[in-house]
Chains A and B, each alone.
Chain A
Amino acid sequence: MKKTNSLLNDAWSALSKNKAALISAATMAAMVFMVLLGPIFSPYAIDEIDWSMIAAAPSFSDGHIFGTDDLGRDLFVRTMYGGRISLMVGLVATLVSVMIGVTYGAVAGFMGGRIDALMMRFVDVLYAMPFLFFVILLMVFFGRSIFLIFIAIGAVNWLDIARIVRGQTLNIKGKEFVDAAKTGGVSTIKIIMKHIVPNLLGVVVVYVALTVPQVILVESFLSFLGLGVQEPMTSWGALVNQGARQMESSPWMLLFPAVFLATTLFCFNFIGDGLRDALDPKDRTRGND
């Protein structure tokens, strides 16, 4: 028996029909490639100061293709390094929030009854909290470490996923194939692993794609305020902040990181939207006789 992965097939066939999502995915692939490999091809290091080139405009002749910042550091290399941080935060913090969210939501949905009601009431309460402010509080009180950023952002972004996963679990639990599996003598563990979890993957994939841009946004927001990633490291948010201060004299300092950040968010939103249209169980259409 050849085992075709139906989920990946579904996702692929849906995305391949959605031009915007396809272009976005290609752009993101190029972006990741560039961020990882770009600095290797540049003669400059991230904190290398070129005293002869303070706030120089972009030019190919001297190798500063994005120009330099007000301290004479190469903006291309800084933008690439900033991208690494931004994308990594996006990935790691999303993983954190997905893990918490899926576990929490699946447990609530599967247990049902009072436990479910209690767990969801708790989520409702957390929803009302001004979370970004709490993340800032955390940053202020516990120092501005990058790991704390990962955890803090991930820990506050799981609420949506928990809600969605819980709803989906409840839905799947009520499906007739679960009852049929029970009648087929299948154990509870196996029902969860073989019947419930695989059917959750679709929504989880969608929400991963939609959470990544949110998380990147939060990180760059913090860094913009100077509460996120600290020197000598940098991120797109921090670069936008520095650029905004110098935009009158050297607008490239603002434009390059801004374009990279916006493009990334834009692409992820499109991919997420495309996936949702394709995988959202609500819209699933099926063959007829």
Chain B
Amino acid sequence: MTDLLKTKNLNVRFKSRGESIHAVKDLSFRLSGDEVLGIVGESGSGKSQTVLSIMGLLESNGSASGSAIFADKELIGLSNSELNQIRGNEIAMIFQDPMSSLNPYITIGKQMSGVLKRHTKMSKHEIKERCIEMLDSVGISKPHERYDGYSFELSGGMRQRVMIASALLTNPKLLIADEPTTALDVTVQEKILDLILDVKDRFKKSVIMITHDLGVVARTCDRVLVMKDGELQESGDTEAIFYSPNAAYTKELLEKSKEINLDDQQKYTERQETSIKNSLVKSSKAKVSFMLPKKTLFAANNVLTAVNEISMEAIDGEVLGIVGESGSGKSTLAKTILGLQKLTSGQVEVFGEKLTEINKKELKEIRKKMQVVFQDPFSSLNPRMTVFEILKEPLDSFFPSMTKESAQKDIEDSLMEVGLTSDYLGRYPHELSGGQCQRVAIARALMPKPQLLICDEAVSALDASIRGEIIDLLLRIKSEKKLTMIFIAHDLAVVRKICDRVIVMQSGKIVEQGPTEKVFFEPEKEYTANLLSAVPVPDPRKEKEKYIQRTQAD
């Protein structure tokens, strides 16, 4: 088979404030007519800029040089109008954020038909028929209605389907997907990835899949390019790359992703069974509902029940994981336990005290023993306070009689504990990196020497390499201080790594709970099983098996 796309010494440079940034360096690769090529790398690796340069979509301060030959045509240096003959016609692209990548001001039908109007001579009627046919073929129900509807009426997954449908309208030879599922929940991700593979087979296309997730590569790609800092590290067949990597960087990436790997059975099985002790947190039929704004004055009250009669407990000394997709109510449950969210009905007992029956002073006493680390490292620190002021605040409120000297010492000690030096005391949050901010947030939580630490998506916003460091830090502190931890996350691999027991939530209810090994390897509920198998693992053979199972089951 001849090459559909072939690049040679492709370079991308950006000019920014007089500085020149070399984003892609001498990249050469080829793509044959019927394969899925993955480009994988961490943020800043130049993987997105590579395809944007091929498409002629670089920002105005960027420029590309070298060669990219697509179907015997040189793309680099083509004029905008020449590129427009190819873009959307022979090469189509779908983007990461389906929320903002579709125009909210015009109907889906108008957006889709624009592509056909531009590239074909079809009649109005034919165009509409073709659009609806494509919507139908990507699994959009009621395509006629959706055609006249708007993108904001759809869920994230549905929007990405619409993006794929519009990309397929002109029957392009190459489909480029730039992190197509990064913004989506894992079960939705699975469906979209399957759809892309299905489309590829059905319509005989080549696909370039750009992603940071090795699991996604293992699931979807025939061949892979590994990139770092704009340079190609290694390329080859997916299996070769995963099972016998050559480049040091590839090995490092694989190591990191396997460290927190769902399928790594033997590593964590000898976790100690917590002998049943007293429970620190105990909720019985806890329910939290919100009133949604009414659409009209006389409409009935619109109620959203975020936490629906949840009964659970957290036992002294354990790490309890609460997992679920967005909208499952896991964060609301955490806020309720922290006393930040009022219960609608039911009861939550924390350290033996019933939250609905205590006054402010008693709540403060409980909070001394219970602290929290939030998700967003930047918004969880007050931008107008120095690290010192941030760490001193809980001391001032919980131990007002503490002397200045011992406060100073406590603050320096805890900073040391989280791996920072006292040089950081005078800094403001915006002078810190995301990982450093999260360390400060952990230090703050440790100031009152709590027994219970609640981590609400505490590592979700961090890059993969930093995520590992923070997880290690949390685990070390947990065992040194004999803390009980409630760890809330959507990332199953992280939960798998650090939790003793897991609660799986869906739409405000508990689906399943039990010891981590039990839930992860012998899930009782179908939802849990689907959730688990939806997570792509960095193991191409296993992913192939899973794919065959899924497609045969249908």
Task: Flag if B425 contacts A183 (CB, 8 Å).
Answer: no
Task: Flag if A1 contacts B433 (CB, 8 Å).
Answer: no
Task: Flag if A286 contacts B378 (CB, 8 Å).
Answer: yes
Task: Flag if A179 contacts B335 (CB, 8 Å).
Answer: yes
Nearest B-chain residue to A185, judged by Cβ:
B397
- Taking CB atoms, residues of chain B closer than 8 Å to A288 are 433-434
Among B381, B431, B435, contact of A177 (Cβ-Cβ < 8 Å): B381
Residues 396 to 451 of chain B near chain A (Cβ within 8 Å)? 397-398, 425-426, 428, 430-435, 441, 444-445, 447-448
What's the Cα separation between A195 and B379 when bound, in Å? 12
Task: Flag if A179 contacts B340 (CB, 8 Å).
Answer: yes
Task: Flag if A180 contacts B372 (CB, 8 Å).
Answer: yes
Residues 360 to 396 of chain B near chain A (Cβ within 8 Å)? 364, 367-368, 370-372, 374-376, 378-386, 388, 393-394
- Taking CB atoms, residues of chain B closer than 8 Å to A245 are none
Interface string of A162-191 (1 = CB under 8 A from B): 000000000000011101111111110010
Interface string of B504-532 (1 = CB under 8 A from A): 00000000000000000000000000000
Most B C-beta atoms less than 10 A away, residue of A2, A186, A195: A186
- Taking CB atoms, residues of chain A closer than 8 Å to B444 are 180, 184
Closest Cβ of chain A: how far from B522's Cβ, in Å? 36
Nearest A-chain residue to B450, judged by Cβ:
A183
**Residue total for B at the interface (Cβ-Cβ under 8 A):** 42
B338 at the interface (CB under 8 A from A): yes
Known: A286-B378, A289-B434. A199 touches B371 (CB 8 A): no
Task: Flag if B374 contacts A179 (CB, 8 Å).
Answer: yes
B463 at the interface (CB under 8 A from A): yes
Most A C-beta atoms less than 10 A away, residue of B370, B378, B384, B428: B384
B183 at the interface (CB under 8 A from A): no
Most B C-beta atoms less than 10 A away, residue of A6, A180, A195, A286: A180
- Taking CB atoms, residues of chain A closer than 8 Å to B370 are 183
What's the Cα separation between A207 and B463 when bound, in Å? 37
What's the Cα separation between A259 and B368 when bound, in Å? 63
Among B380, B385, B388, contact of A194 (Cβ-Cβ < 8 Å): B385
A198 at the interface (CB under 8 A from B): yes
What's the Cα separation between A184 and B391 when bound, in Å? 10
Task: Flag if B434 contacts A179 (CB, 8 Å).
Answer: no
Among A4, A183, A186, A195, contact of B340 (Cβ-Cβ < 8 Å): A183
B466 at the interface (CB under 8 A from A): yes
Among B364, B393, B432, contact of A181 (Cβ-Cβ < 8 Å): B393
Closest Cβ of chain A: how far from B29's Cβ, in Å? 28
What's the Cα separation between A254 and B70 when bound, in Å? 68
A7 at the interface (CB under 8 A from B): yes
Interface string of A1-45 (1 = CB under 8 A from B): 111101100000000000000000000000000000000000000
- Taking CB atoms, residues of chain B closer than 8 Å to A183 are 338, 340, 367, 370-372
Known: A177-B379, A199-B382. A184 touches B397 (CB 8 A): yes
Closest Cβ of chain B: how far from A125's Cβ, in Å? 17
A287 at the interface (CB under 8 A from B): yes
- Taking CB atoms, residues of chain B closer than 8 Å to A185 are 364, 367-368, 394, 397-398, 448
Among A184, A198, A289, contact of B384 (Cβ-Cβ < 8 Å): A198
- Taking CB atoms, residues of chain A closer than 8 Å to B432 are 287
Task: Flag if B372 contacts A179 (CB, 8 Å).
Answer: yes
Among A4, A186, A201, contact of B397 (Cβ-Cβ < 8 Å): A186
Among A2, A180, A199, A287, contact of B441 (Cβ-Cβ < 8 Å): A180
- Taking CB atoms, residues of chain B closer than 8 Å to A284 are 430
Size range of the chain A interface in the assembly: 20 to 34
- Taking CB atoms, residues of chain B closer than 8 Å to A287 are 430-433
- Taking CB atoms, residues of chain B closer than 8 Å to A181 are 382, 393
Task: Flag if B374 contacts A180 (CB, 8 Å).
Answer: yes
Nearest A-chain residue to B383, judged by Cβ:
A199
Task: Flag if B367 contacts A289 (CB, 8 Å).
Answer: no
Closest Cβ of chain A: how far from B335's Cβ, in Å? 7
Among A177, A182, A201, contact of B382 (Cβ-Cβ < 8 Å): A177
- Taking CB atoms, residues of chain A closer than 8 Å to B435 are 289
- Taking CB atoms, residues of chain B closer than 8 Å to A6 are 383-384, 428
Task: Flag if A199 contacts B393 (CB, 8 Å).
Answer: no
Residues 74 to 115 of chain B near chain A (Cβ within 8 Å)? none
Closest Cβ of chain A: how far from B405's Cβ, in Å? 13
- Taking CB atoms, residues of chain A closer than 8 Å to B388 are 1
- Taking CB atoms, residues of chain A closer than 8 Å to B372 are 179-180, 183
What's the Cα separation between A201 and B418 when bound, in Å? 32
What's the Cα separation between A199 and B463 when bound, in Å? 28
Most B C-beta atoms less than 10 A away, residue of A176, A181, A182, A184: A184
Interface string of A263-289 (1 = CB under 8 A from B): 000000000000000000000101111
What's the Cα separation between A186 and B393 when bound, in Å? 8
- Taking CB atoms, residues of chain A closer than 8 Å to B447 are 184
- Taking CB atoms, residues of chain A closer than 8 Å to B466 are 289
Known: A1-B426, A182-B340. A289 touches B382 (CB 8 A): no
Nearest A-chain residue to B394, judged by Cβ:
A184
Task: Flag if B426 contacts A199 (CB, 8 Å).
Answer: no
Closest Cβ of chain A: how far from B252's Cβ, in Å? 17
Most B C-beta atoms less than 10 A away, residue of A6, A187, A198, A288: A6
Nearest A-chain residue to B408, judged by Cβ:
A1
What's the Cα separation between A6 and B431 when bound, in Å? 11
Task: Flag if A184 contacts B393 (CB, 8 Å).
Answer: yes
- Taking CB atoms, residues of chain A closer than 8 Å to B433 are 287-289
- Taking CB atoms, residues of chain A closer than 8 Å to B375 are 176
Residues 86 to 135 of chain A near chain B (Cβ within 8 Å)? none
Closest Cβ of chain B: how far from A279's Cβ, in Å? 11
- Taking CB atoms, residues of chain A closer than 8 Å to B463 are 289
Task: Flag if B368 contacts A1 (CB, 8 Å).
Answer: no
What's the Cα separation between A3 and B447 when bound, in Å? 22
- Taking CB atoms, residues of chain B closer than 8 Å to A3 are 386
Known: A287-B430, A289-B463. A199 touches B384 (CB 8 A): yes
Closest Cβ of chain B: how far from A56's Cβ, in Å? 54
What's the Cα separation between A194 and B380 when bound, in Å? 14
Closest Cβ of chain A: how far from B176's Cβ, in Å? 26
What's the Cα separation between A175 and B441 when bound, in Å? 14
Closest Cβ of chain B: how far from A247's Cβ, in Å? 47
Q: What are 5 A-B interface contacts by the 8 Å CB criterion?
A: A1-B426, A177-B380, A184-B367, A289-B434, A289-B435
Residues in B lying within 8 Å of A, measured CB to CB: 335, 338, 340, 364, 367-368, 370-372, 374-376, 378-386, 388, 393-394, 397-398, 425-426, 428, 430-435, 441, 444-445, 447-448, 463, 466
- List 9 tightest A-B contacts by C-beta distance, closest first: A176-B380, A185-B397, A184-B394, A176-B374, A198-B384, A289-B433, A177-B382, A185-B364, A175-B379
Known contacts A1-B386, A184-B394, A185-B364; 19 additional CB pairs below 8 A are A1-B388, A1-B425, A6-B428, A176-B374, A176-B379, A177-B381, A180-B441, A182-B340, A183-B371, A183-B372, A184-B367, A184-B397, A186-B394, A186-B397, A194-B382, A287-B430, A287-B432, A288-B434, A289-B463
